[in-house]
Structure 1
């Protein structure tokens, strides 16, 4: 049974980020989550929401997966959030990619948004990632 494409790329993204010393110099590997996290665990990276456009196998054999990666830091400004975002982008730009049960045709960091947290002590970045995958036979 093939792994759902957004789950396959989610796992691949986390594996890549926790293995990248440039990322873990800014965020410890144990604070790079693909699940629940707690506000005292800042800075942290949370692989979050996503969506998939599945191939219909008549017009395209490629699935398109979209994921948001959230960066949370405890600071009034955005300097650390932007440094972490830059490290994430650099890490994800590197090829080759592997994802369980899929051939990864491409991964793109398409945009980043920087917004204030609910209190003045936190900053938040949302990094949007687009991936094109093909199920491996």
Structure 2
């Protein structure tokens, strides 16, 4: 059985993030979650929404992925959320991540948005990446 490209990409992204020193310093540890614990200490990052589209060519199969990462902060102001978003960008943009049963053609930063949530004290950085994969 082969691992779907989206599952392999998500696992490789998480592995890269928990191994990145600058991100770990910004978060105060390896606080990168698929689903955060109920009482997760701020700041932390969650792996969010994923979109998958066909990117096949006449030469072979391929997939285009849009992966959203979320950084959550309560430091007081936007600064920490921006620092974490920058660390995500540095860790992943054009990173040569190894994928099981697939090949990562490219991984690129697409867009970031930093905002204050409705509670008035939580800052949320949404960072999107675009990736293209093909079967190995």
Q: TM-score w.r.t. structure 2 length?
A: 0.89
Question: Cα deviations across residues 28-60 of structure 1 (Å, max 9, x unaligned)?
Answer: 10x201224435421010001111013456575
User: Which residue pairs with 1:113 in the alignment?
Assistant: 113
Measure the CA separation in 1 of the matches of 2:57 and 2:100: 20
Q: Is the 8 A contact 2:103 2:134 kept in 1?
A: yes
* Alignment RMSD: 1.8
Unaligned 5+ runs, structure 1: none
Report how many aligned residue pairs link the two structures: 135
Q: Which runs of 4+ in 1 moved over 6 A?
A: none
**Which residue of structure 1 lines up, in the alignment, with residue 88 of structure 2?**
88
Q: Which runs of 5+ in 2 are unaligned?
A: none
Secondary structure of 1:26's aligned partner: helix
Q: Secondary structure at the match of 2:98?
A: coil
**Secondary structure at 1:99 match in 2:** coil
Q: Structure 1 pair 56/108, CA: closer, same or farther in 2 (3 Å)? A: closer
